[in-house]
Amino acid sequence: MSESYFDALERQLAGLCRERAHRRTWRFRVPGMGRSASSVRLHRSGIVAMVASAAVVAGVVVLALALHSAPRPPGRPAGGGAAGISQRQRRAAQPYVRAAIDPAVSASCASLASVRGRVSYGAPSRSLVAILGVLRRPREPSDLPPPAPGAHRSIPVWAQGAYVRYVRRARVVAGISYYVVPMVNAGVMNGTCAAQAQRRLDRELPTIPAGLRGVVRQLAEHQIANLGPHQGVILVETGPNISGGFGGTPASAIKQTGIFGSDQTRDGARVVGLLPDGVASVQIIYTAARGSDTPKPFSITAPVVNNVMVVSVPRTGEAALHGKMVWRAANGTVIRTISQH
């Protein structure tokens, strides 16, 4: 019996739903690095303004984590990971990578509860503390995460698996609090699931066309490392009508690209970023955009306070992240330029 229209509609849209999430990554060029190593996959972190339930907050974190750029797997040479692979190879390899990894990122494996576990009273890695001054300042009562609304837990879901003594409220802007939250494990898969994904990949590899095998292995292992257990930071925003977070980014990636997200607002978007020490301001340069309220090129500069920048931009949520970013030190010298390509 042939499939009905509404069943076919459901099937096709569900497939596109999955496809779309996998496509949602950007490539950024970091000047000053060699060509092969210059492409950093930076997730559209935080893409979304968030809804108020703690469970949903956890979901956003998953979104961010699933897409973020993580460090190279231990033992892999510089320039390894997913670098040096052409777009064409990437496209061809992607279905095989997904087939190997997706079952491991199933509901049970991607459950934050199984990944995160309890809070940690320990300290994050030195490399992380070294690049984020806000984590080095003494803890204050205002740094305590607000309790989850209506929940029996005393801390919200997003703080599960956090180094609670190192959670810092970095800023409060327009009634919204921005917390920097170092995580014991910012991955979305626990070690068991990561190992399961690796085993599945090893099993599938011989069935993959020989010409693609190397690329698939490289991409899949990179992705397993991204999704598997690793220490990282999330930036959480809570306030009236908003409660969300993004990131899951390790120290090395914060140093290179920071973490940026945007929330849709009534007048455009609010861009929020976490930046390493030394960055005093961020200028975002937007090119002309057809169909936008602000079709002409313009730029906006925001100060960085306690490693966090917050700025309102007259662009819609996603487009607000489509800009060239110039990081500047307090004396005005350019530290880094990040441009989309």
Partner 1 sequence: MAQSLDHAQWSDAELLLAVVVGDDAAFTAFYRRYLAVVTAFLLRETGDREATADLCAEVFAAVMLAAARYRDIGPAGPWVLGIARNKLRASRRRGRIEERARRRLGFEPLTLGDADLDEVEALARHGGGDLVGLVEELPVNERDAVRARVLGERSYAQLAIDLRCSEMVARKRVSRGLARIRARLEGR
Residues of the shown chain interacting with partner 1 in the complex, contacts defined by CB under 8 A: 4-6, 8-10, 12-22, 24, 47-49, 51-53, 55-56, 59-60, 62-63, 66, 106-107, 241, 264, 317
How does DSSP classify residue 104?
Answer: G
How does DSSP classify residue 16?
Answer: H
Which residue type is seen at 339?
S
Q: Are 161 and 118 in contact (CB under 8 A)?
A: yes
CB of 101 to partner 1, least distance (A): 12
In DSSP notation, 53-108 reads -HHHHHHHHHHHHHHS--PPPTTPPTT-TTTT--HHHHHHHHHHHHHHHGGGGSTT
CB of 23 to partner 1, least distance (A): 9
**Judged by CB, which is closer to partner 1: 61, or 216?**
61
Q: Which residue has 């975002």 as its token pair?
A: 284
**Judged by CB, which is closer to partner 1: 107, or 210?**
107
**Judged by CB, which is closer to partner 1: 7, or 202?**
7
CB of 192 to partner 1, least distance (A): 18
CB of 109 to partner 1, least distance (A): 11
Which residue type is seen at 72?
R
How does DSSP classify residue 160?
Answer: T
Beta-bridge mates of residue 340: 28
Torsion angles phi and psi, residue 88, rounded to 5: -65, -45
**Judged by CB, which is closer to partner 1: 154, or 241?**
241
**Judged by CB, which is closer to partner 1: 283, or 316?**
316
CB of 326 to partner 1, least distance (A): 27
